[in-house]
Structure 1
Amino acid sequence: KFLSKGLANIKSTLDEGVSRRIFTTKRVTEILGRISPTTDLSRLVNCQLIIEAVFEDLNVKNGLFRHISSIVSEDTILASNTSSFSISELARAVSHPERFIGLHFFFHAAKNRLVEIVKGDKTSEPVFDNMMQFMQRIGKDPIVCHDAHGFVVNRFFVPWLNEAVRIYEEGIADIAAIETAACRTFGCSMGPFALMNATGIPIAYHAQKTLYDVYGAFYKPADKLLQQMNANSPWEIKPEQSIDWDIYLEISERLSAVTMLVCGQILDKNICTAGDITRGAGIGLKWRKTPVNIFNRLGQDRVNELVQPLLQKWDLTIPRRMDTNSWIPDYISVEKYDNVGVLIFNRPEGLNAINPMVIDQLEKGFTQLEMNEQIESIIITGRGKAFVAGADIHFFVNHIKKSSVNEILDFTAKGQKLFDRIDHSKKKIIAMVNGLTLGGGLELALTADVIVALDHSLFAFPETGIGIYPGLGGTQRPIKRVGKNLTKFLIYSGNMIDAKNACDMGLIDKVVSWDEFGGLFENPHELTSAKKGPSQNWIDVDNFIDGKTVKNLLEQSSKASEWDWLLRKMGKKAPRALEIAEKLIDAERGPASELEYLEEIFTTADALAGLQSVGKVPPKYQGH
């Protein structure tokens, strides 16, 4: 019965993927063919990884792990999907506890990219490294947290739910008003009561009860939460028509205060970093306004004011790390392996997009590795779906609207200076591209001596399609690899190029599988630039563009032409952006030349229209 229900749920999810054109029916059949449901635990004997996901009962979990430990080999990695129990405590039921680890997935596990990776006190480094790579390989965005009840996300999310019930219990507002205020404050599509209805009220209660048992009175479940669970019925949520500002403010500040107080406690215990809190909230909960965003918007003094009532009511002390410096997200991670340094873009909730904070952290990390005499090679890579998906569009739009384009110019100039340092470094620079590589991301990759890409990676210069042109070397550095004509093709078309085609063009040096990718971190020194000419299909593109100006191409009749698709694409780009890109490529005066036209392009109506259209219907560009 349970196996049939489980398979039906899996098939329903996959069928939804077909309707959304994520999967083909053939792919669904293949996936289902790889699933072997069973109630016979002895069939697990040859498994390499087993993830337990039974309900949150410590005795049940311990019994299961004792049984499994007696069946599988000592090399089998055992993991728990627990959302609340200590991994170190669970490991006591496992023989060879060094192979035990926490892998906490988030609802809906097939769709939600977040997973918390939790090391117990005996988890081995090889097991941890293996799971970090495996989670990324299956499309997850892992955050690393130390072993503590509730880990990272549930530690602040569950009290957020509980505080919403307390506000309702105290008669401050009805459920609909609390939902509205919560969604506005945290930028989420579902409020606390709707989320409890979706995931199950008993789950919320038991998670809060576990935190209460471990951490004390502040975490005590609200009486109405227990009552609602015992009533075995969902919360009744009525449509909210309007909400009084004072009530909205009280709800918003109460929910914010609880969330930030708990996050401060998390930071105090070094359970994770501020960046992990941001990634957890942004990816796992889909909050557009994370606790870190809210802290930095309100400021240290105001946040400390907001948490005072909680400190007094529950006899708590303020966390030591309720200061601005502790709440700076770590977007660039720096790692070292013998004589190899690694710079990792770790902002998957924003597709690793570049903004001033990212540039500052990249510069600091690069300087640290460049000055280390033991480091011979520096690898640049990303976490999540993207290597780097260009510059942060919101940064551009905000400053255009504020008429502070100088901020964009300063940001670009600083980025140019850093990219030039990377380009001319005496260390060997390897770009290990792990996914989507757009605009500034491709410009960064092109500063490397060698570019290696996973086979599913995609490359593009989309700038002229959003009203601007590449400004971090994109009109210059590709010329060294593919020549002027193919550089023009990349910028004029904005075409998304897969890894194989990028390699055939000569834009990158090597395409690798996941199996090969991990091994390159250990010994990248032997990697060399391919320095090969383009394949015949790219020679044909080169020949078509050769000798033609943007004006020639746009005026050329495309009827019955094999190049119709390219000409139509160019016709939808911002005219001034195309003209400037052409001028820069033809002159080939180096990346710094791109700075000359930045103020002009970012003050055009087309730039604002294009940048605001990302993810929407492209505008019709006016050429000014």
Structure 2
Amino acid sequence: MREVAARMARPERVVGLHFFYHPVKNRLLEVIPWEGTSSTAAEAAERFAAILGKVALRCPDSPGFVVNRFFVPWLNEAVRLVEEGVADIPTVEATARDGLRLGMGPFELMNVTGVPIARHAAEGLAAELGPFYAPAPALVRQAEAGPWPLEGAGSPSGDVLDRLLAVVWVVGAELVAEGGATPLDVDLGARVGLRWRRGPFELWNRSAPEDRRRALAAFSRRYPEVPVPELLAAGGEVALPAVTAERRDGATVVWLARPDRSNALDGGVFEDLARCVAAAEGPLVLRGMGKNFAAGADIRFFLDAMEKRELGRIVAFTRRAQEVLAALEDHPHATVAAVDGFALGGGAELMLCCDVAVATPRARIGFPETGIGIYPGLGGCHRLVRRVGRGLARFLVGTGTVVGGEDAAAIGLVDACLPPEAHVPADLIAVEPAGERELPERWARIAELFAERSLE
């Protein structure tokens, strides 16, 4: 971007946007400011991403940005494995699909996106970063010949998996060491942009220490000129927070950072949220990364606990979640929930803990718990009554009805309905609680129908 900016009359307005294949379907959008990009331009690019429903990943202005920095070497490593006779193409494909839980292996991916593109990307990285990134000779030849031949069957190989894992671990950690990205950025890029089930550092954390050491040793034998970054050399787990925080416009913006999982709430999310809330200075704006605020509790946790008859885990989870939500509700400064997309179940209950709630027109807010035989257990019942009154609270909880942003504002479930581009900290913290309002006729009739009269 700095090279583009050097030719512009107003370089401070230059910011890059990198879409991913297929751009209509892929939800990742890398936002690349250079060192002279104004904060106004960078934030405008991120608002544009929000309007498109994309996950905005702010990247360094360096070769490969974030995703291609580790993804292209991963493709190249697959080719080198075949070129060196370590494995054939079907074996590499089977290993990648099985070991990394991918729908397509590296060779099939190159055929879909274009083998010449992989070669060109590797050449671009090598020109800036050195010979380790240079395309394998077989990749150069295949770019001229056409798609890779994928015929034949293969079985997963441990040696191949070690090489495929080690290259993304080392390159990802190198990028982090340069200060251009965090481990979470790398993993989000893999999970959202490449649709990997788990990112490189989550795979590292899930690997046994002896497996990590073995893979790094194999990498160092093959590439003795490439040092293992300190982040990995220590051998411990890499921190991957599910909630992050940053300062903008005089406010602390807290992000639920699991966009590929609809920002579902689990124990890790609540622990990270507690940390961010406790450290927040000034007004706090709570947002969901990507196209959803929070689509409820992580059902996988509850299913696992029920299957193992470990109901105490659910009780402990609920108790801790209640503590964290109470801390958010009691935060000494103003708190604002900025809701886009789904805020369901626990996500809606999280929204209710804030002083002010602001939705977009495409927001979908509701309490669908009764549809699976449970009720809002994180304070939704009593906090909802404070927002919309007993009649509408009974209706929303009892029927599981999901309302859009405009209806939510009309009934007082949120305080305002604003377009996504208006969801910037300065505008959000200026919104005042709406207080009581006259209900539209349709909603007034529903409130009357569900009103409690048995004690009158």
TM-score by length of 2: 0.92
Q: Does 1:179 align with 2:98?
A: no
Distance 1:268 1:422, change over 3 A: same
Alignment of 1:402-441 (within 5 A): 402-441=308-347
- How far, CA to CA, are the matches of 2:354 and 2:319 in structure 1? 19
1:530 corresponds to 2:439: no
Q: Are residues 1:154 and 2:65 paired?
A: no
Match of 1:276 among 185, 192, 196: 185
What is the SS of the residue equivalent to 1:384?
Answer: coil
Equivalent AA in structure 1 for residue 379 of structure 2? G
Residue 413 of structure 2 corresponds to residue 503 of structure 1: no
TM superposition shift of 1:471: 1.7
Give the AA of the match of 1:453.
A
User: Which residues of 2 match residues 332-481 of structure 1 at below 5 A?
Assistant: 332-337=243-248, 339-369=250-280, 372=281, 375=282, 377-481=283-387
Query: How far off is 1:523 after superposition?
Result: 6.5
* Alpha-carbon distance in 2 for matches of 1:251, 1:403: 39
Indicate yes or no: 2:122 matched with 1:213: no
Contact 1:356 1:411 in 2 (8 A): yes
The separation in 2 between residues aligned to 1:458 and 1:239, in whole angstroms, is 47
Deviations 1:305-356 (A, max 9, x none): 3112212322222101125777322332323346433222232122111122
Distance 2:142 2:19 in 1: 26
The CA distance in 2 between the partners of 1:324 and 1:274, in whole Å, is 15
Give the corresponding residue for 2:397.
491
CA distance in 1, matches of 2:117, 2:343: 39
Quick one: which amino acid aligns to residue 181 of structure 1?
T
Are the counterparts in 2 of residues 185 and 289 from structure 1 also a CA contact under 8 Å? no
Question: Among 253, 256, 279, which residue is 2:165 paired with?
Answer: 256
Letter in 1 for 2:61: D
CA displacement 1:374-433 (0-9 Å, x = unmatched): x2x322122211111111222222333344332332222111011112223332222121
Cα 1:238–1:504 change in 2 (3 A) is: same
1:157 deviates by 0.8
C-alpha separation in 2, matches of 1:444 and 1:300: 37
- Rounded Cα–Cα distance in structure 1 between residues aligned with 2:320 and 2:93: 42
The structural deviation recorded for 1:147 is: 1.7
Contact 1:431 1:452 in 2 (8 A): yes
Partner residue in 2 for 1:319: 229
1:513 to 406, 419, 422: 419
* SS of corresponding position for 2:229: coil
**Identity among equivalent pairs (%):** 34
Larger relative contact order (Cα-Cα within 8 Å, sequence gap ≥ 6): 2
Q: Deviations over 1:423-465 (max 9, x none)?
A: 2333222212122111111001111222111111111112222
Question: Judging changes above 3 Å, is the alpha-carbon distance between structure 1 residues 235 and 379 closer, same or farther for their aligned structure 2 residues?
Answer: same
Question: Cα–Cα, structure 1 residues 337 and 122, in superposed 2: closer, same or farther, change >3 Å?
Answer: closer
Deviations 1:466-495 (A, max 9, x none): 343322112221111223332232222222
Q: What is the CA–CA distance in structure 1 between the aligned matches of 2:311 and 2:162, rounded to whole Å?
A: 34
Q: Decide whether aligned partners of structure 1 residues 394 and 226 sit closer, same or farther in structure 2, where only a CA change above 3 A counts.
A: same
Q: Which residue is equivalent to 2:111?
A: 197
SS at match of 2:191: helix
Residue type matched to 2:277 in 1? F
Q: Assess, with a 3 A threshold, how the Cα gap between structure 1 residues 337 and 270 changes in structure 2: closer, same or farther.
A: closer
| Distance of 2:27 and 2:336 partners within structure 1 | 27
State the SS of the aligned residue for 1:476.
Answer: helix
Listed one character per residue, the Cα deviations across residues 285-319 of structure 1 (whole Å, up to 9, x for unaligned) are 11112212211101555324311221232222210
Change in CA separation of 1:211 and 1:436 when aligned onto 2, cut-off 3 Å: same
Shift in alpha-carbon separation, 1:495–1:217, aligned structure 2, 3 A: same
Preserved CA contact (<8 Å) 1:436 1:457:
yes
Give 2:176's aligned amino acid: L
| 1:133 and 2:47 aligned | yes
Report if aligned partners of 1:268, 1:319 keep a CA contact under 8 Å in 2: yes
Alpha-carbon distance between aligned partners in 2 of 1:339 and 1:94, rounded to the nearest angstrom: 31
Secondary structure of the residue aligned to 2:408 is: helix
Are the counterparts in 2 of residues 509 and 531 from structure 1 also a CA contact under 8 Å?
A: no
How far off its partner does 1:215 sit?
2.3
Q: Is the 8 A contact 1:116 1:143 kept in 2?
A: yes
Tell me the SS of whatever aligns to 1:431.
Answer: strand
Describe the SS at the equivalent of 1:327: coil
Output the aligned Cα RMSD. 2.3
1:235–1:548 distance in 2 versus 1, CA, 3 Å: farther
Report the Cα distance in structure 2 between the residues aligned to 1:522 and 1:499, rounded to whole angstroms.
17
Instruction: For 1:466 and 1:432, locate their aligned partners in 2 and report how far apart those are by CA, in whole Å.
Output: 27
Q: Which residue of 2 aligns with 1:9?
A: none
* In 1: Cα distance, 2:163 partner to 2:420 partner: 45
Separation in 2, partners of 1:326, 1:143: 23
Q: Distance in 2 between matches of 1:237 and 1:419?
A: 52
Q: Normalising by structure 1, what TM-score? A: 0.69
Higher gyration radius (CA): 1
In structure 2, the CA distance between the partners of 1:270 and 1:486, relative to structure 1 (3 Å rule), is same
The DSSP-based 3-state class of the residue aligned with 2:198 is coil
Shift in CA distance, 507/325, structure 1 to aligned 2, threshold 3 Å: farther
- Contact 1:299–1:324, Cα closer than 8 Å, also in 2: no
CA distance in 2, matches of 1:119, 1:176: 40
Preserved contact between residue 145 and residue 152 of structure 1 (Cα < 8 Å) = yes
Q: 2:176 aligns with which of 258, 267, 271?
A: 267
The change in CA–CA distance for 1:167 and 1:111 in structure 2 (over 3 A counts) is same
Q: Which amino acid aligns with 1:480?
A: R
Partner in structure 2 of residue 55 of structure 1: none
Q: Which residue of 2 aligns with 1:224?
A: 138
Distance 1:128 1:284 in 2: 20
CA change 1:118–1:548 in 2 (3 A) is same
Question: CA, structure 1 residues 409+533, in 2 after alignment: closer, same or farther (shift >3 Å)?
Answer: farther
Q: Is the CA contact (8 Å cut-off) linking 1:114 and 1:141 kept in structure 2?
A: yes
Q: 1:109 to 1:312 in 2, by over 3 A?
A: same
Matched, 1:543 2:453: no
- The answer to whether the 8 Å contact 1:437/1:459 transfers is yes
- Looking at structure 1, the residues matched to 199 and 169 of structure 2 have their Cα atoms a distance apart, in angstroms, of 10
Distance, in Å, in 1 between the alignment partners of 2:374 and 2:201 is: 31
Letter in 1 for 2:256: F
Q: Does 1:103 align with 2:103?
A: no
Long gaps (5+) in structure 2: none
Instruction: Return the offset for 1:500.
Output: 1.6
Give secondary structure in 1 for the equivalent of 2:380. Answer: coil
| Paired letter, 1:544 | L
| Shift in Å, 1:205 | 0.8
**Counterpart of 1:472 in 2: which secondary structure?**
coil
Structure-2 residue corresponding to 1:88:
2
